[in-house]
């Protein structure tokens, strides 16, 4: 699984810690981490939590990533931004139980974390335990076990609702403020990671023209 990490400007100074903790958990499981930044508070290419959502949608809908780890100060803003787009089901995880139940009940493809709220002593351990609960077992297995059938049914219903309640991503991107969109894909390693992994030719062509 290709896992993308996206940090916005207010919490960019924590990117190195978050990336290292994520890699520590998921790489032994055979997953790859692609760190899209921001890498520090001094990055020339800055991201807002709204742009986190735009970038997450591009990565997930294009197949350049299978899962997105993101967040902001509280985690709520990035979660809302991600869920504004088709093809993204983003949860909010404050502790490991949140991570486990989101993975097993909701089986989403993105998680938003609060990187300021309660981020003190032992914060890296909380991150590690959340990542373990998210990625160590396959998602969508249900919790508790007696709820597996209705939960899996509800996930299929949610997928079907999202399929008809959103426009296609290309038309959305075309209607967005193009400077806002360009800023979302202006990261130092975006071109390297995205174009090597993008599986949607139309979306890839649109982004290629945008960043040319």
CATH number for the domain running over 2-211: 3.40.1400.10
Residues 186, 45 contacting (CB under 8 angstroms): yes
Q: Could you give the CA distance from residue 186 to residue 47 in angstroms, rounded to a whole number? A: 9
> Tens of pLDDT along 38-59?
999 999 999 999 999 999 999 9
Tally of residues, the chain: 212
Q: So where are the chain's domains?
A: 2-211
- pLDDT-derived band at 15 (thresholds 50, 70, 90) equals very high
Nearest Cα residue to 179 out of 6, 7, 48: 48
Residues 10, 116 contacting (CB under 8 angstroms): yes
Q: Could you give the CA distance from residue 80 to residue 50 in angstroms, rounded to a whole number? A: 8
Q: Could you give the CA distance from residue 12 to residue 7 in angstroms, rounded to a whole number? A: 6
Q: What is the pLDDT of residue 161?
A: 95
* Beta-carbon contacts of residue 54 (< 8 Å; ≥ 6 apart): 81, 85, 173, 176, 180, 181, 184
Q: What is the pLDDT of residue 32?
A: 98
């Amino acid at each position: 699984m290709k896992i993308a990490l996206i940090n916005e400007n207010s919490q960019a100074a924590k990117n190195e810690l978050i990336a290292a903790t994520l890699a520590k958990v998921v790489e032994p499981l055979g997953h790859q981490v692609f760190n899209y930044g921001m890498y520090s508070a001094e990055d020339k290419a800055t991201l807002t939590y709204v742009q986190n959502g735009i970038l997450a949608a591009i990565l997930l809908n294009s197949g350049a990533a299978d899962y997105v780890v993101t967040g902001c100060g509280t985690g709520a803003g990035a979660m809302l931004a991600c869920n504004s787009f088709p093809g993204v089901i983003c949860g909010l995880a404050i502790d490991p139980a949140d991570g486990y139940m989101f993975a097993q009940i909701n089986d989403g493809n993105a998680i938003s974390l609060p990187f300021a709220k309660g981020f003190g002593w032992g914060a890296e351990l909380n991150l590690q335990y959340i990542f373990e609960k998210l990625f160590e077992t396959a998602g969508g297995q249900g919790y508790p076990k007696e709820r597996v059938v209705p939960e899996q049914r509800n996930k299929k219903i949610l997928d079907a609702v999202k399929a008809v309640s959103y426009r296609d991503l290309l038309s959305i991107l075309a209607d967005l403020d193009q400077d806002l969109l360009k800023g979302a894909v202006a990261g130092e390693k975006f071109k390297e990671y995205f174009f090597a992994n993008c599986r949607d030719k139309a979306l890839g062509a649109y982004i290629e023209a945008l960043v040319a």
